[in-house]
Amino acid sequence: MKIKKVKGKSAKARESQIWQLRLYVMESTLKSEQAFANLKQFCETHLKGCYRIKVIDLLKQPQLAKGDQILAIPTVVRQLPKPVRTVIGTLSDFERVLAGLDLRATT
Amino acid sequence: MKQSPPKPRNTRNSGKEKVISMKKPPSRAKPKMFPLPKCPTGIQGLDEITGGGLPRGRPTLICGGAGCGKTLLAAEFLVRGTTQFDEPGVFMSFEETEPELRANVASLGFELAALVRRKQILVDHVRIERSEFQETGEYDLEGLFVRLGHAIDTIGAKRVVLDTLEALFASLPNEAILRAELRRLFRWLKEKGVTAVITAERGIGQLTRHGLEEYVSDCVILLDHRVNDQIATRHLRVVKYRGALHGTNEFPFLIGDDGISVLPITSLSLNHKVSNERIATGIPRLDAMLGGKGFFRGSSILLTGTPGTGKTIVSANFAHAAARRGERVLFFSFEESPQQIIRNLHSIGLRLDPLVKRGLLRFHSARPSLYGLEMHLATMFKEIATFKPQVVIVDPITSLMDAGTDSECKAMITRLIDFLKAAQITTLFTSLTQGGHALQQSEASMSSLMDSWLLLQDFEGNGERNRVFYVLKARGMAHSNQIREFLISNHGIDIVDAYIGASGVLTGSARVAQEDLRKAAVLTNQQQAAGLKREVERKRTAIERQISGLRSDYESEAEELRRIAEQVSSSTLMLTTERAASSRLRQADTNVVASTRARATHNGRANS
């Protein structure tokens, strides 16, 4: 269940700056699909080539919900770079996703 | 959600069977209209109020202000669920972390860590910080459902606690979504068949701050922490319990070192068993005043008196006698520390410390102002429940009355007496009166609850105070109507008859003086009688002497008379013989006759 999207352009320096994102969903609901599509589009726009998305289906792995303190579905958790940031919802508003993932500060 | 959780252990199945078997009777006994199944909480008193526990398989809302014990009640519900009813539980905490929770409930004697280790309780701390996340677009709380569902399935939970769900309102900005999801959550919990407890903060003008009562409508319990006259008391009230009868009053409860106990005493009825056994008071004369046998077992005894009349001493004697018989005695002291009582009673020759060492006598001392009336009552109940005494002494009950209003006090004493009578415990209450008759009357309300009433009083007069004592009432036994004087000496208590005379009741030195007077009078009487006796004796001897004088006179006269008579008879005899002789000598000279007569006269004189 890992949809990795790695595109190291070239530089090794960026390797440390690869964004690791986790998307928590419930299998194939409309909202989950929307969220995944939105996240992918967002990352392609803002983090092209230096991100990884791990999609976790809580129906299959409910025990993982505790670790990242998941309440809402869908939820995106930025694992790296630290600190952990969380955005909930279908990620329809990119401005808020930018703020939520704190993208501007790190890039 | 189905495949991943490691299948719950056997305990779960057994738990389930139990649930089913408990649920069965209602369906089978349908015509009997069996009430809805209940889930016992195991919390002292709460099950009595709710008629068996919380509604099984439904959510219950517990609301109350800060610090009134919501979390503890919820935690106890879970812990007792596992330990007493073999029903595992999930604690989902939105505020406290697991270590915090563990520490908090450890103070109540609950070993949460062990239960967690044995997979009987699962604690899930949901941490959600408003500052740490953004929301964008639509979402739902399926994550929470998944977590909860996973937790329930992991340990096969029957009970669930959501401790303060309202924290979500602070964290999640979209209230519309939240409310919709909560509604769904409660429905989901019902479908799951778990008995859930949801805690919520008390709101202004409504039960909860965010109106959760709108969603959880099966059972609502309101907790309250009120300060009255600087003394705080916790109260519990079942606001609503759909489909069941329940106590509607406010019941005081307390959080002690073994959890929560609610005091649903007013639910007790007035049909306790009675005993015909009589128990001695430890003061033989008092037993004699009470028909010779003492009090009934299980009766309530009131001992009133002004300060320093010896109430504690009488009660300690009672305690001592009971403990010597091998009964357990619990002594609640609200004035003196145990050591002080032991020392003071030693001074009158009553040794209590060996009884304490043997575990027959237990003291419980507390300042009345330490906490509220209900707390005192609850503490007393707990002490009684753990120590299981046959005799309880409350010294003095009036100290407790300062801790509450009159009606509260009466209610409390009623509860206490009901409780004690139901357990067949003989109870002695001492009551301090301020002197004067008005106060005695004000205590009449309390006395109606009492079976026996002894009065200790001070008598002032002659520059001294003396104690007297009488039995005011003693239900169901013949008892003395007399006032007795009550003496306290090195050897203990002595009850003596007070002197009752024309000038009223005399006590103390007046009584002694009166006794002396009486003794003196008796002595004088005795002396007078002795004098009289002597006089009579003297007279008798005098008379006897006279009689004997007279008799001797008489005898001498009688002798004289006899002598004369003899003389007469002998001279007569002589005359006749002389005459015979002379007749024989007729022939002789007359001179011979004359000389013979002279000789005869001479002979007669010699004869006499």
What are chain A's domains? 19-106 (3.40.30.10)
Under 8 Å between Cβ of B96 and B125: yes
Average pLDDT over residues B182-188: 89
Instruction: Give me the residues paired with residue B485 across strands.
Output: B468, B496
Q: Tokens 């006759």 identify what position?
A: B593
| CA separation for the pair B389, B383 (Å, rounded) | 9
CB contact under 8 A, A73 and B139: yes
Read off the pLDDT band of B561 (50, 70, 90): very high
Is B142 touching A (CB cutoff 8 A)?
yes
CB contact under 8 A, B138 and A31: yes
Which region among B7-11, B272-276, B514-518 has the lowest average model confidence (pLDDT)? B7-11
- The helix/strand/coil state of B528 is helix
pLDDT digits (tens, 9 = 90+) for B408-436: 777 778 778 888 888 888 999 888 877 65
User: What ipTM does this complex have?
Assistant: 0.81
Chain B contact set for A72 (CB, 8 A) = 135, 139-144, 172
Which region among B219-228, B325-334, B556-565 has the lowest average model confidence (pLDDT)? B219-228
| CA separation for the pair B66, B450 (Å, rounded) | 40
Chain A contact set for B178 (CB, 8 A) = none
Is residue B473 scored above 60 in pLDDT?
yes
Under 8 Å between Cβ of B73 and B260: yes
Chain A contact set for B138 (CB, 8 A) = 31, 34, 89-90, 92
| Domain B278-497 in the same topology as domain B53-216 | yes
Is A65 touching B (CB cutoff 8 A)?
yes
Could you give the percent of chain B with pLDDT greater than 90? Answer: 14
Under 8 Å between Cβ of B445 and B458: no
Q: Report the residue of chain B nearest A60, measured CA to CA.
A: B1
| CA separation for the pair B515, B523 (Å, rounded) | 12
Which burial class, exposed, middle or buried, applies to B164 when counting CB atoms under 10 A from its CB (0-12, 13-18, 19+)?
buried
Residue A82 phi/psi, 5° resolution? -70, 160
Q: What is the residue extent of each domain of chain B?
A: 53-216, 278-497, 512-602
How is domain B53-216 classified at the CATH fold level?
Rossmann fold (3.40.50)
Read off the pLDDT band of B549 (50, 70, 90): very high
H helical segments located in B292-428: 311-324, 338-346, 353-357, 373-387, 397-401, 406-422
| CA separation for the pair B488, B310 (Å, rounded) | 8
- The helix/strand/coil state of B469 is strand
How far, in Å, are B15, B86, B88, B155, B182 from residue B8 at the CA level?
11, 14, 11, 5, 27
Is the omega angle on the peptide bond into residue B26 within 30 degrees of 0, that is, cis? no
What pLDDT, on a 0 to 100 scale, did the predictor assign at position B589? 58
Under 8 Å between Cβ of B449 and B420: no
Q: Tell me which CATH code domain B278-497 carries.
A: 3.40.50.300
Count Cβ atoms below 10 Å from residue B516 Cβ, excluding itself.
Answer: 11
When the pLDDT of each residue in chain A is averaged and rounded to a whole number, the result is 76
Is residue B26 scored above 60 in pLDDT?
no
Is A41 touching B (CB cutoff 8 A)?
no
| CA separation for the pair B346, B274 (Å, rounded) | 35
Is A21 touching B (CB cutoff 8 A)?
no
Chain B contact set for A62 (CB, 8 A) = 1, 4-5, 146-147, 149-150
Chain B contact set for A93 (CB, 8 A) = 136-137
What pLDDT, on a 0 to 100 scale, did the predictor assign at position B590? 56
When the pLDDT of each residue in chain B is averaged and rounded to a whole number, the result is 81
| Predicted TM-score (pTM) of this structure | 0.64
pLDDT digits (tens, 9 = 90+) for B269-280: 566 778 888 888
